[in-house]
Amino acid sequence: MLRHHIKLISVTFLIAIGFCCCLTVSPDTRPKSYGYYRLPTSLKPELYTLKIMTKLEDPSNLMFAGEVDLLFKVLSDTDNITLHVQNLTIDEKRTELKKYNDNSTLYCIKDSTILEEHDYYIISLCQALQKDEMYTLTLAFKAPLNHRLHGYYRSSYMDKLTNRTKWLSITQFEPAYARSAFPCFDEPNYKAKFKIWLGHHNALTALSNMPLERQELIAELPGYVWSIFEESVPMSTYLVAYSVNDFAYKSSGDNRVMFRTWSRPEAMHQCDYAAEIGPKLLMFYENRFGIKFPLKKLDQIAIPDFEAGAMENWGLITYRETTLLFAPNVSSESNRERIATVIAHELAHQWFGNLVTMKWWSDLWLNEGFATYMSNLGVDFLNPDWELLNEDAMDNILGVFKYDAHINSHPISQPIEATQQINERFDTISYKKGSAVLRMLHMILGEEAFFEGIRHYLMINMFNNAEQDDLWNAFTDRAHLYKRIEPGYDMKTIMDSWTLQVGYPLVKVIRNYDTATVEISQQRFLLNNSQSVDDNEKCWWTPLSFTTATKKDFATNNTLHWLECKEGKKNIKISLENLANKGEWILFNVQISGLYRVIYDENNWILLNRTLNSNKYNDIHVLNRAQLIEDALSLAWGGYMDYNTPLDMLQYLKQENKYLPWYTALQGLANVDRLLKNFPTPYGFFSKFLIDIILPVYNSLDGLNNTIKATEISQVKLKHKMLMAKWACYLKVNDCVQTAVKYFQEWKQSSVNRIPVDSRVIVYCTAIKHGDRSDWEFLWQRLQESNVATERRSLIQALSCSRNSTLLKAYIDLIFDENKYIRKQDSAAAFGAVVRNEVSFPTARDYLIEHIDQLHEFYGPTSQDLTSLLSSIAGQIINMEDLNLIQSLLARKRDFFKEYQKSVSNALETIQLNIGWINRNTDILQMYLVKRTSND
């Protein structure tokens, strides 16, 4: 415990006088001797005693003021203290440096300077600090509560009982925004303990990472109190969290861990589901990992304005309302599933990220990949009947296969050499590829070795930092113990090939039917096979599993062989004998246990297609049916084979009664639809093809009608029904449009929404698409009145479905209106929905170009949302004229995108891939579809 407290009167006095005595530290123009992007290693923080006074009464002047006592140890002699500060006003007159436990001696401070490039605040000292000594640095500071949705910022909601705006404060410090709330060593490897004091009006509640220890009245500020929290466990600055609000909560959990779910008071009835499953998931992870949750309380709180989906702050997890709050009879079952998955993800982070933290952001996947994979296991524990393990695995793999096939993708673990590069790493690679690689590792090692390796990794690194080599060491021991890999193999060699290089392999399986041999090789898969790169010489340690038409062994996915990588030798082929008889198929990658695509010789595709298009299609495991569809469609997309094979294969879907192959197929076909719909003649034949395969299954599931109630069918069957209805309405199949419009008009006339909850998003979009201005305005009014965030998200998406270009142009203006008809956190998704509507795409494209300055100001210089808008536009561009417009925009506004070059490169590559696909495939597809139609 620190020897002294910050004087209460000093902070309250600063609040009262508006901090007028402060000196703003200006950037120093002198050359700096230290310009490295990482902090010097001469100091190690031990304890922050942080006091923050927040006043929320005056909306025109929402400020905070604070003071920090930072106890640190000197690891090597130094004559300066370098730490992070961003957009804080420091009161230099009150800066003090003392030796720990020596109040009488103040150390001389020469000057203070800022190095803006790295947010360094450098305090130069008159004499050097001595190695192994402990010192206390005191700094006073202030800043506005910002509206950028990161750092220490403000949020609000409308209290409908009083018709007043209620304000609250909240933090979002990941990855590097703690420095904008208090001076700190803002890197993940600088773990320290925190003692947090929050000053606030006594009518409000203060929350932080740790339980409340006590409250003290502030004599100098009547009506104000200090909420003083227990000292924290060691943690990184990005996990620090605090809030001042007037929220209510629901308690759950056991006596050991106080578990509370918080929301604005009028949304409390939406907290029940999260409060129910949170403690169950926490207990599941405790048992799975063999380590108890180390805190005495855990709060989860729904924030009205929150940029991320959620944030795993230790003991105070923050969420968007859409990812925590579930309203019975309003929120859908897909909303319930999403909420369960996000809560499971954040609770998994309490071990992967919080208890054991990556040393540097290069290994972000150790946090996000693990949390993503473990959340799948957590939700499956809660609801095994949802059958989510296979679906989540496929969803992750689909995301990786698409993103990582871009030339401009990046390795899972890649050097990060500037703070500005960190945000771009929160992407598909860190989350989904990280998860998919862990699933593959789980399959290689088996249940016992995998979880024993995890427990060992967590135990030896708890309350500390780790890197991926620590993980590989833990797994190698267990892999050898359980004989899952050969004695000469090690997990580092195997797994580095997946985490340290970009991309993933296409495994080529070529059979010689006369000699009964199979030749197997690999190359990198790219979305355009004609792209000229050096990546074909890449090599992955690829685990091979397979079965045949005779064996049909899909229960065993053990690695039977490896495609190895020898030093200096790439793409080593292996030859296997007597795997299958001449007339039977062979199938590699059982249950998609490895992260790779497979391409076969033409005859093997024919044999597989023959089985799928027969009454024996169930002989192939459902995951591998989805795999075959995905591989075939993507191989045709990339130019590795023509479209005859996948389109012939997809005929079997008329009899497919499982959700996963349909989900996979329609994901792939949506990419074709996205581009082909710009060409009326071939698209007419393509839409007929889609209707032909969709109609039998749509009818078998009773279409959009509600004769099958959600409570009478499984979750996965309900999702299948809704997926088919969504496409049927899109393609104007059967009675789908008429049913949707009928539902909508009944609601409009009676003002009682009797539309089945799970079909509402389909009904809303279809009715708006085929409706008039009055229908749009009716839905817009419902959006303004809604108290349920999940419903609001559906309404926002549906409003973009109109075919009225005038309405859509006005809608874009409303999306970015500062009156907050639509919250900033939802604006990029709303704009993306408008972009995907071919009626409004030209308007949206022009809006981005013409309003780029206003949009940059709207989001702020450090937000990724501007690149999200760019990516949305890029996905729809199909010609050189539009590409030139975007390139011109990027050239003019280079500074706006300089921190997101990877995202910009991917957007430009997407456009080039779109144009290339159209040039290669439009005529060929038309010929195939015309021929099929005439044969039918």
The pLDDT of residue 23 is 35
Q: What are 429-459's pLDDT values in tens digits?
A: 999 999 999 999 999 999 999 999 999 999 9
Supply the pLDDT for residue 708. Answer: 53
**pLDDT value of position 24:** 36
pLDDT (0 to 100) of residue 709:
56
Q: Which residues are catalytic?
A: 346
DSSP assigned state of 674:
H
pLDDT < 70 positions in the chain:
1-33, 532-536, 568-569, 707-711, 935-936
Classify residue 155 as exposed, middle or buried by CB count within 10 Å of its CB (0-12, 13-18, 19+).
buried
Say if residue 410 carries a ligand binding annotation.
no
Dig out the tokens for 270 from the structure: 């939406």
- Can you list the pairs that 806-815 forms with residues at least 24 positions away whose Cβ atoms lie under 8 Å? 807/773, 807/776, 808/834, 808/837, 808/839, 808/840, 808/843, 809/840, 809/843, 811/840, 812/840, 812/843, 812/844, 812/847
| pLDDT value for 710 | 54
User: How far is it, in rounded angstroms, from Cα 179 to Cα 495?
Assistant: 35
- Model pLDDT, residue 6: 37
Helix ranges (H only) for 638-679 are 644-649, 659-676
Nearest to 185 by CA among 354, 318, 315, 46: 46
Token pair for 815: 């999306």
Q: Is 368 annotated as a binding residue?
A: yes
Please report the sign of the dihedral spanned by the C-alpha atoms of residue 404, residue 409, residue 411, residue 412: negative
**Residue 345 counted as an annotated binding residue:** yes
Contacts (Cβ under 8 Å, ≥6 apart) of 602? none
Helix locations, 613-714, DSSP H: 622-637, 644-649, 659-676, 680-700
How many C-beta atoms lie closer than 10 Å to residue 773's C-beta? 11
**What pLDDT is stored for residue 254 in this prediction?**
80
pLDDT at 707 (0 to 100): 54
| Distance, CA of 927 to CA of 204 (rounded, Å) | 68
Count of C-beta atoms within a 10 Å radius of residue 560: 15
Q: Tell me the two tokens of residue 494.
A: 């195997």
What contacts 599, CB < 8 A, 6 or more positions away? 506, 507, 508, 509, 631, 635, 640, 641
What burial class does residue 584 get, using C-beta atoms within 10 Å of its C-beta: 0-12 exposed, 13-18 middle, 19+ buried? middle
For residue 167, CA distances in Å to 60, 62, 224, 344 come to 11, 9, 16, 29
Rounded CA-CA distance 485/301 in Å is: 44
Residue pair 570/537 in contact by the 8 Å Cβ criterion: yes
Tokens of 672: 């074709």
So what's the pLDDT on residue 554?
Answer: 94
DSSP per-residue codes, 348-384: HHTTBTTTEEESSGGGTHHHHHHHHHHHHHHHHHH-G
Residue 328 · residue 497 · CB < 8 Å: no
